[in-house]
Amino acid sequence: MYAPPDWYTTFFTGLAVEMWLKAMPPEATAAEVAWLRAKLKSPPPARLLDVPCGGGRHSIALAAAGYSMTGVDLSNDFLQTAKNAGPTIDWQQREMTDLPWTNTFDGAFCFGNSFGYLPDAENARFLRAVSATLKPGARFIMDYGAVMEALASTFMPTGAYVFGDIHYERNGRYDAATGRIVVEHSHTRAGLTESKVMTQRVYTYRELCELLTAAGFIDMQGYGGLNDEPFTLGSKRLLLVATKAKNE
């Protein structure tokens, strides 16, 4: 089982996208958006960046609350869905490291456990790119379920689930030599199966904070969930809030 370094350029198509669009109920999105608003501390009509935005569920809800939203994603399938649901939002099809804005946004977020897909140098480049887009003092929030302190207790090598009419199976492993999980995802509907392999870097909390510091962020705050419980060993996910350092 092998995933090429650029696996993400072709993974988010077809049934994989359709399944993810069915996976998150509206009440989960509403809870996450309320938490984002509280932690970003930038009331509407602040300008926010959602990267990568996937199907745009967070951006659409935030736009409805009065925010000026920009959503970035590489997947055409995801973006077509996002554009249909949120036609007034600035949707941009580009690599998550390709963020051409400077000191533009009042806040940014990376949700859906979408960090760590890239090789190490590119993961660091992504954080630097996000930092460059933000105004000094603006906040960046990351939802990262593959952090080591969480993954050690939550990683399931195999699993099977049903989302609507899509049957989903996963078969994965942790590669200690590269510090990455490698997972084959299979999606089946009406007898048609699409199988793809993905890989994601597993950083520790400390390593992630060091990357953020190098990218120009300060004041890292880690939470283990939407109830603001402190992040610790065994937390189910990491919600990390960082602030772009102000100019000296």
Tens of pLDDT along 56-109?
999 999 999 999 999 999 999 999 999 999 999 999 999 999 999 999 999 999
The CA distance from 55 to 76, in Å, is: 10
Average pLDDT for 23-27: 93
Crossing angle, helix 120-133 and helix 205-214, to 10 degrees? 50
User: Residue 1: pLDDT band by 50, 70, 90 thresholds?
Assistant: confident
Alpha helices in 65-163 (DSSP H): 76-85, 120-133, 148-154
The CA distance from 81 to 75, in Å, is: 10
User: Residue 239: pLDDT band by 50, 70, 90 thresholds?
Assistant: very high
For residue 248, pLDDT beyond 80? no
pLDDT of residue 187: 96
pLDDT of residue 99: 98
For residue 153, pLDDT beyond 90? no
pLDDT of residue 160: 95
Q: Quote the mean pLDDT of the chain.
A: 96
Average pLDDT for 201-216: 98
* Distance between first and last Cα of the chain: 49
For residue 32, pLDDT beyond 90? yes
Q: Name the token pair of 56.
A: 């745009």
For residue 33, pLDDT beyond 70? yes
Query: CATH fold of 8-146+203-244, please?
Result: Rossmann fold (3.40.50)
User: Residue 221: pLDDT band by 50, 70, 90 thresholds?
Assistant: very high
Count CB atoms within 10 A of the CB of residue 211. Answer: 18
